[in-house]
Every structure is written in C-alpha cells, then in structure tokens.
Amino acid sequence: MGTQGRTWATACMLALSLSGGAWAQDSGNPPGAEAATVELHFNGAAEQKSLELQGQEGHTVFETRVVPDTCYRQVLDHYERICHTEFRNECTPIAHQVCRDGFRQECTPITRRECVGLPPYQTCHDVSDRVCRTVPYRDCRTEWEQVCRPIWFPVCHDEPRYRSEAYACTKTIQVPVGYEIDYQVTARVQVTFESAAGSVQADETLQLQLDGAQLKLKPAKLSNLLLIETNSTFDTQVTAPKQKVVNATYTLRFVPLDEVLKPADGALQDFDWIRNEMSFSVPRVSHPEYLATSLRIARQQLVGEKKRFDGVVPAEALRLEDRGDRTRVIINLQRLGLDLGSDAKYNVELQIKAWNTRGQTLLNPELLPLHAEQELKQKGVRPSH
C-alpha cells in the first residue's frame, strides 16, 4: 500500500476508534456503543482497498432476581343448572285375538238293523255305525304385543362456574447488570472492486461494519443500475488472551442491470428445429449466468398430447452464439434425454427469464424483477433433417 493509502487507512482507523459499538445480546459491541463502520465508494474503476477496523466482542452479564408479581387462580363462583332433553321408548303389552278359519269332519254315532235271508227264515241284528259331515269352524287364540312410543323428558345437572382471583406472588427474572468484554477485535479487510462493464456511470456507496467479531457489508447509497455480486472469505483467530483477529476478503463484481434484463425485454424470434437442435434468437446476451431458459415439449395425439419435457434447460444442454446484436440460443435435445422423430408433430413452449441461475450472492437482489420474461409458442411443429 502506498503512503497515501496508509494515511487514508490510518485516518479511518482513528475515526473508527473514536466511535463506539451497538447494543448486542450475548456477543457484540458494548451497550450504548455503535458498531465500527466505514463507507466504501465505487466509481466504476478497478481498485483494491485495505482496511483495518477495531471493535470489541463481549457478552451481557445477567443477574437473577426475585420480584413481586400478580398471579391468578381459578376459584368456585357458583353452580349453573344445565338441562337438555332426552327421550326413551315406553312400551305397553296389548292383547288381541288371532283366529284361523277352516273345515273339519263332524260325525254322529248311529245304530242300524241288518237282516240276512228272507222271512220267515230271516235273521236280523243291530250294527253300530256313524254318520259324518263337513262343517266350518274358527280356531282363535290370544296373543300379546308390545306397543312402544317415545317419551321426551328433561335431564339436568349442576355445572361449576369459576372466576379468576388475583393474589400476590413472586417471579424470577434475568436482569442485565453489566457488560463483560471477551475480546478486543481487529478486522483486517481486503476489498477488491472489479471494473464495471458497459457504459453505466457507477456511483455506488457501500457500508462495511464490524459488530463484535462479525463483518457485515451492506448497501448505503446505490444507483440501482448495477447488480453487485459479492464473494467473501473470513478467517477468525484468537491471537492472544482477549485478542481476536478477523482476516477477511471481499471481491465485488458490478454487472450492468440493463444488460442482464435486455434478453428478457425483447421478443423471441427465428424459431428453428433441425434434427436434435432447437434454437431461437433473443436480444444479445451479455451475462448468460442471469438467463434461465425453460422448455415444454409435448407430442400431439388423436386426443390431447403426451408431455416429453417440461422444465428448465440445464447449462450443459445450452449453447449461445452471438450474431450481431442478437444471440442464438441453441438447445441440445439429446442432452435432455430426448430422441424425437420427424414422423410426429409437437407443441413447443419456450420461455426465457432474467434469473440468478448460479446462485450468486447479491447485495441488491431486489433489482431482479420477478416477471422479466418472454415466451414463444409453436403448435404442430416437427424437426427437419
């Protein structure tokens, strides 16, 4: 570092040593103090800065105390009569005659005289017999039957009712009574600004803060014209009793937002499908890491369709070719596991979206719109050879 850089860093350290730290729970700066803070300015040029911040890390000391309190208990106030209606079946035996009509033989005994031979030599004697006839009759008997009907009646019981009653009691609380410093913290930070591509006039202000032993980099005043990617490393060591050193690096890359959004601002054009490659063109892609391409392809059937692929196209299946002020996006269908013949027709839906596809750590991710996207739909197409 040159003499001017060392003087500037020393001035920062002096200014920081005159400021305190913020209230922290368990660890951080002492109560009532502000965190050590320095502002970083970026105007578009590549630059490296070395900073040293001083702070303290400690913990709040608590004391257990028993203090008066008001407690509540439930006491019986009164009983309340609660009733509801129930029913039961009440049955009574009833007798009735059951009769059966029919016919039977009814016979009467008689005596007749039978003779053998002719008079005067005829011999006679009496013979017993009976005369029968069919007569109607009725056979009846008494049967009993239970006849039931519902009887409604009230059922009541007494339920207790309670009320809250206050009484004096005590409770145990933890009261902060002091702050104990665990470490004097020195943070040595190397910040690398990579130059911003494009024609954007950069004017970004960031804030680097040391809170206890934690470094925090956050926006202070931004132009909202650049996405700010951060890559950081931290190494914390205890170098002596009650001495802690944090060595950190920040690499900041500034990406023009208009270049990121440009492909999703223009229409998808020039659709083509040759053998296993499907392609289309979009406004020039300067930052492919912020371009997500989705594909849905379904084979047409007599009724409905059969889906073959529906999802985000991975980077290994994509190829970009710049052609003037536009970029050709080429999808390798074989790398998607697709082998589609030319004897069928397909419905194709393509979508591109401005998206952080590689999960870059951004200081201002809110600048990426949720709906920066374009679509292209083709129905009944087939690959050409």
CATH number assigned to the domain comprising residue 309: 2.60.40
Report, as an integer, the average pLDDT of 358-374.
87
Residue 18's pLDDT is 30
Domain boundary among 112, 131, 157: 157
Report, as an integer, the average pLDDT of 8-15.
33
Question: 23: buried, middle or exposed (CB in 10 Å: 19+, 13-18, 0-12)?
Answer: middle
**pLDDT band at 115; cut points 50, 70, 90:** confident
Residue 213's pLDDT is 92
For the ranges 180-184, 198-202, 234-238, which has the lowest average pLDDT? 198-202
DSSP state of 384: B
Residue 191's pLDDT is 96
Question: CA nearest 33: which of 215, 206, 212?
Answer: 212
For the ranges 62-66, 111-115, 328-332, 350-354, which has the lowest average pLDDT? 111-115
- The residue with tokens 């008079």 is 119
Alpha carbon separation from 159 to 81, 156, 164, 165, 259 (Å, rounded): 6, 10, 17, 19, 75
Residue 195 has pLDDT above 90, yes or no: no
Residue 30's pLDDT is 67
Tokens of 288: 């492919």
**pLDDT band at 332; cut points 50, 70, 90:** very high
Q: Are strands 123-193 and 47-116 parallel, antiparallel or unpaired?
A: antiparallel
Q: Mind giving me the DSSP string for 319-378? A: EEEEETTEEEEEEEGGGGT----TTS-EEEEEEEEE--TT---BS-GGGS-TT-EEEEEE
Q: Tell me which of 372 and 305 has the higher pLDDT.
A: 305
Q: Is residue 203 part of a domain?
A: no
**pLDDT band at 8; cut points 50, 70, 90:** very low
Question: CA nearest 363: which of 160, 268, 223, 237?
Answer: 223
Q: Is residue 225 part of a domain?
A: no
Q: Is residue 302 part of a domain?
A: yes
Residue 27's pLDDT is 55
Quick count: other Cβ atoms within 10 Å of Cβ 379? 12
Residue 10 has pLDDT above 80, yes or no: no
Residue 6 has pLDDT above 60, yes or no: no
Domain boundary among 157, 190, 222: 157
Q: Is residue 321 part of a domain?
A: yes
Domain boundary among 128, 157, 186: 157
Residue 197's pLDDT is 63
pLDDT tens digits for range 199-219: 778 889 999 999 999 999 999
Its pTM stands at 0.64
Please answer whether residues 98 and 143 qualify as being in contact, where contact means their C-beta atoms are separated by less than 8 angstroms: yes
Report, as an integer, the average pLDDT of 224-239.
94
Quick count: other Cβ atoms within 10 Å of Cβ 279? 17
Residue 33 has pLDDT above 70, yes or no: no
Report, as an integer, the average pLDDT of 255-277.
92
Please answer whether residues 334 and 277 qualify as being in contact, where contact means their C-beta atoms are separated by less than 8 angstroms: no
Residue range(s) defining the domain that contains residue 147: 75-157
Q: Is residue 114 part of a domain?
A: yes
**pLDDT band at 20; cut points 50, 70, 90:** very low
Residue 13's pLDDT is 35
Residue 245 has pLDDT above 70, yes or no: yes
- The residue with tokens 């925090």 is 216
Alpha-carbon distance 66 to 175, whole Å? 10
Residue 28's pLDDT is 65
Residue 122 has pLDDT above 90, yes or no: no
- Strand-by-strand arrangement of the 291-300 sheet: 305-312, 291-300, 346-354, 373-381
Q: Is residue 218 part of a domain?
A: no
Residue 118's pLDDT is 79
Helix (H) or strand (E) holding 264: helix 257-265
Q: Is residue 311 part of a domain?
A: yes
Share of the chain above pLDDT 70, in %: 90
Total tally of structural domains belonging to the chain: 2
Cβ-proximal residues to 311 (8 Å cutoff; 6+ apart), any chain: 294, 295, 296
Q: Is residue 145 part of a domain?
A: yes
For the ranges 138-147, 192-201, 276-285, which has the lowest average pLDDT? 192-201
